[in-house]
Structure 1
Amino acid sequence: MDVQQIINNASRLLKQKKYIESLEAFNKVIEIEPDNHTAWCKKGIALIHLKQYEEALKACDRAISINHSYYAAWEYKVLCLRRLQQYQEANDLCDRILKIFPDANHKHIWSSKAYSLYRLEKYQESLEAYQELANFDPLTDCYLFDRGLGLETQGKLKEALNHYDLCLKINSDYYHAWEKKYILVSQLNKHEEALIIADKLLELQPNNAVNWDRKSSTLFNLQKYRESLKVIEQAIKINPNNSVYWDSKGVTLDYLKKYSESIDCYDRAINIDSMYQSAWANKGRALQRFEKHKEALNLFNKALEINPDDDFAWHGRGTALYNLGKYQEAILSLNKALELNSNYYYAWYEKGRVLDELEQYKQAIDCYKKTIEINSEKPFNRKNKL
């Protein structure tokens, strides 16, 4: 078998992801022809896949020393430096490659440069590099979006947000990037910014009921309840058979103290989807406004049949039991709510009230202290007023 046949066989093994076998084959070529730059470069590629980055870097350097014009070896050397997290060196090498090979297709070099600059926290320069990359690859915005998704799954929300921003600077009408940005900004409680994004989503897709619901939710979080109500009604107008929208309208009406109207909305939600747990629990809360504690208890029980891990429903159940004078049962329900959400300050407060009735004053005071510790801006007095 001649050298070219061995190289072809080794390359085939590389494509088949048989990296150890391909490495052995490239080593065999190098034994026969120590100055075969192709074999050295592809040996480097195999080593990269085997995560032996230092050795891969040496192999790429050897290929370059044999044939200074072998572009692929330069590309893979950059990749080695990235894998070794030597981002400054990688960026510098990208600049060198751009000068040495001015007429080459630099798609991967601009990609590496943009990524390296991002990791160096040089965000403006990184954006400029991504914009250059877009000249070679029209899917650059998609690449940035996909990378943002990957970072999100790793829990790196701020990094993901940066990638969506980069994506939008390249393509300002990328709907899904705006959508993901809205979700992350909302999770970070940046509601003013979320409202601006919600308007952009509506500009791009004005007949999408989800976008009206998003804007309504953001206005609700900003305590603009009347505006929120008008907007959720737009979502219902587009899609009147969505239980979530009716439930959201009910909650908004509840905050506007229109309790009877809110109950009507919860009933609409339940009629559409009898397994929509939130509507059962919210209706229970609304009935408590009318002192219908026994009926409310039944609704909280129904909600918990559907979802036994809902802290809100356990809290509501505990409150209903308290109002029915069933203090020991109330404690058990409130403890369950706190087991699910240890920062649920309403549940801590209600537990304090129950302990008061049981004349367990020290424990009650501890619960009130915990309430204030969690949310010092909303201390309760004994009359349950904020």
Structure 2
Amino acid sequence: MRLSHDEEESNRSLSKFESMLKTNKVFFFDSEEFEDIILHYMDTGRMNLAKKALKLGLEQHPKSTGLQLVQVELLVYEDKLDIAEKILNELFAIEPTNEEIYIQKANILSKRDQHEKAVEQLQIALTYTDDLADVYSMIGMEYLFMDDLEQAKTYFIKCLESDTEDYSALYNVVYCFDFLDQNEEAVAYLEQFIDKNPYSEVAWHQLGRQFYSLKNYEKAVWAYDYATLIDESFLGAYLEKAKSLEKLKKYQEAIDCYKTTMELDDATSFALLRVGKCYEKLGNIELALKYYHKTVHEDPLLDKAWIAITDFYIRQKNYQKALYYANKALGIDGDNSEYWKRYAVINEALHHFEEAELGYKKSFEHGDINLDTFLLWTNMLQVIGENEEAIEILLQATEVFPDEYEIEYRLAGLYYLMGQTRKGNFHLNNGLRMNFKNHTLIQELFPSIWNKKSVQNIIKKYSE
């Protein structure tokens, strides 16, 4: 690829500058060359070289406004805001119509969290600048810092009106629409943008994402198709298209899309996992397993991969194999609540009740506070005769789920079993008040309690 004239000049200046540093000879550069050299080193994170270039530049051009503004930029980067401000005030007295002075003032105010004042400076910069898009984008960012998403969106849109190829502004506009839950408005805006810029693959891709959020998966596929037609190597669009095809239950087409991403770049664990899921949906067990194994090989720390392969064997009712993979997963990450929950479910299916109870306990200890975990755990405690502990767990669960009838009916049954009738009555009344319709849960879980006349009398009061 041929470099532009400006790029060739920039490369020549950089080579000349680095040669000067190696030989200790002093070469002359004009001030703009120095500015480009310094900004290049700042952009690439080589701050020591940027400082050296600035020092030499100011020695050769001590009155250059451009170099002093670059110095200000460097000082702001290093949080030396007071020194930067002093230089700016001196420059302002000389060149009050230089837009870069206002931009750097805004940067200082922004760093001090004075975002409204930063916007005021940028509004002044707008009256002097030729680069409206850049300043609009900066104003948009200040409004983002202030959590004013509507105003931010307005200025990012203005930025795109000045420069339709500013993709970061396009992403920011869509981010604002997303944050404000304005998916339909985002679709309308993107369609309008595409009418004027039909070959913007980024806009088509973002349109597809909005249709996906609106659960209009066919339209999402249509938009992603355009994105990939414009850019045949647009990996993100192929991935999103594949996800949409899965939602449409077009599993083979989704597999083809995922495989395209693997041709464009190294296979990701996400794509391998999704291909495995698609093959399982198609009933191709052999290929599903093959891709699940590829996923755990590619990324042994990906919990979704181990969960997929364990769940696969659970669905096949091959609990010994499922237990083998659950144990392997726990060997890699013993703090994963999802692994412990599956360990519990598998052991329950194998009638290893103490191991199952341990699994539910560990799952809870590692952050699982789902209702079904509490219920399954207490079921296991009841099976192994640990009723008191089951009551303790359910009382903890009421703090998370204070209005859950399933907890109340279980507490009622357990208290009755323990001979604590008053507490049993209290929780039975709670359960009946919360959900009378499902009161037969007592019969399912505690048949001996269900037949008690006192229990039936309480239930009868609510049926009337």
Structures share a fold, TM > 0.5? yes
Aligned-residue offset at 1:65? 0.8
Is the counterpart of residue 243 in structure 1 residue 270 in structure 2? no
Query: In 2, distance between residues paired with 1:350 and 1:88?
Result: 54
Aligned partner of 2:99 in structure 1 is 71
Q: Describe the shift of the 1:370–1:115 C-alpha distance in structure 2 as closer, same or farther (beyond 3 A).
A: same
Alignment partner of 2:394 out of 342, 349, 368: 368
Q: Describe the shift of the 1:177–1:57 C-alpha distance in structure 2 as closer, same or farther (beyond 3 A).
A: farther
Aligned partner of 2:143 in structure 1 is 117
Aligned partner of 1:379 in structure 2 is 406
Aligned partner of 1:270 in structure 2 is 289
Aligned partner of 2:90 in structure 1 is 62
Aligned-residue offset at 1:176? 4.4
Contact 2:115/2:143 (CA < 8 Å) preserved in 1? yes
Contact 2:208/2:224 (CA < 8 Å) preserved in 1? no
Contact 2:251/2:278 (CA < 8 Å) preserved in 1? yes
Q: Describe the shift of the 1:197–1:118 C-alpha distance in structure 2 as closer, same or farther (beyond 3 A).
A: farther
Alignment partner of 1:300 out of 318, 323, 330: 323
Contact 1:164/1:178 (CA < 8 Å) preserved in 2? no
Q: Amino acid of the residue matched to residue 394 of structure 2?
A: Y
What secondary structure, in the 3-state scheme, does the structure 1 residue paired with 2:252 have? helix
Q: Amino acid of the residue matched to residue 288 of structure 2?
A: A
Contact 1:164/1:177 (CA < 8 Å) preserved in 2? no
Aligned-residue offset at 1:364? 0.8
Q: Amino acid of the residue matched to residue 116 of structure 2?
A: Q
Alignment partner of 2:78 out of 42, 50, 58: 50
Q: Percent identity?
A: 10
Matches within 5 A, 1:1-386: 11=35, 14-15=38-39, 16=41, 17=47, 18=49, 20-21=51-52, 37-38=65-66, 40-99=68-127, 101=128, 104-145=130-171, 161=179, 169=189, 171=193, 174-177=203-206, 194-196=213-215, 198-205=217-224, 211=241, 213-214=243-244, 231-232=248-249, 234-239=250-255, 242-247=275-280, 249=281, 269-270=288-289, 272-274=291-293, 277-286=306-315, 295-305=318-328, 308=331, 309=333, 311-371=337-397, 373-374=399-400, 379=406, 381=441, 383=444
How many residues align structurally?
Answer: 326
Query: In 2, distance between residues paired with 1:329 and 1:22?
Result: 68
Deviations 1:241-299 (A, max 9, x none): 9212244x49xxxxxxxxxxxxx5656622554456444422444356xxxxxx42432
Q: Which structure has more RCO (C-alpha within 8 Å, separation ≥ 6)?
A: 1
Aligned partner of 1:227 in structure 2 is none
Query: In 1, distance between residues paired with 2:181 and 2:104?
Result: 24
Query: In 1, distance between residues paired with 2:445 and 2:216?
Result: 37
Q: Describe the shift of the 1:62–1:74 C-alpha distance in structure 2 as closer, same or farther (beyond 3 A).
A: same
Higher gyration radius (CA): 2
Query: In 2, distance between residues paired with 1:271 and 1:8?
Result: 59
Query: In 1, distance between residues paired with 2:369 and 2:167?
Result: 39
Query: In 2, distance between residues paired with 1:122 and 1:128?
Result: 10
Query: In 1, distance between residues paired with 2:389 and 2:156?
Result: 59
What secondary structure, in the 3-state scheme, does the structure 2 residue paired with 1:239 have? helix
Aligned-residue offset at 1:161? 4.2
Q: Describe the shift of the 1:338–1:284 C-alpha distance in structure 2 as closer, same or farther (beyond 3 A).
A: farther
Aligned-residue offset at 1:363? 0.8
Contact 1:90/1:116 (CA < 8 Å) preserved in 2? yes
Q: Amino acid of the residue matched to residue 383 of structure 2?
A: E
Q: Amino acid of the residue matched to residue 79 of structure 2?
A: K
Contact 1:98/1:106 (CA < 8 Å) preserved in 2? yes
Aligned-residue offset at 1:66? 1.0
Q: Describe the shift of the 1:74–1:205 C-alpha distance in structure 2 as closer, same or farther (beyond 3 A).
A: closer
What secondary structure, in the 3-state scheme, does the structure 2 residue paired with 1:68 have? coil
Q: TM-score, normalised by structure 2?
A: 0.56
Kindly report the root-mean-square deviation, in angstroms, between the aligned alpha carbons of the 2 structures.
4.5
Query: In 2, distance between residues paired with 1:27 and 1:344?
Result: 64
Aligned-residue offset at 1:343? 1.7
Aligned-residue offset at 1:63? 0.8
What secondary structure, in the 3-state scheme, does the structure 2 residue paired with 1:343 have? coil
Query: In 1, distance between residues paired with 2:56 and 2:313?
Result: 72
Query: In 2, distance between residues paired with 1:164 and 1:25?
Result: 52
Contact 2:103/2:121 (CA < 8 Å) preserved in 1? no
Aligned-residue offset at 1:362? 1.4
Q: TM-score, normalised by structure 1?
A: 0.65
Query: In 1, distance between residues paired with 2:88 and 2:181?
Result: 30
Deviations 1:98-129 (A, max 9, x none): 33x27x23333222222223333443333332
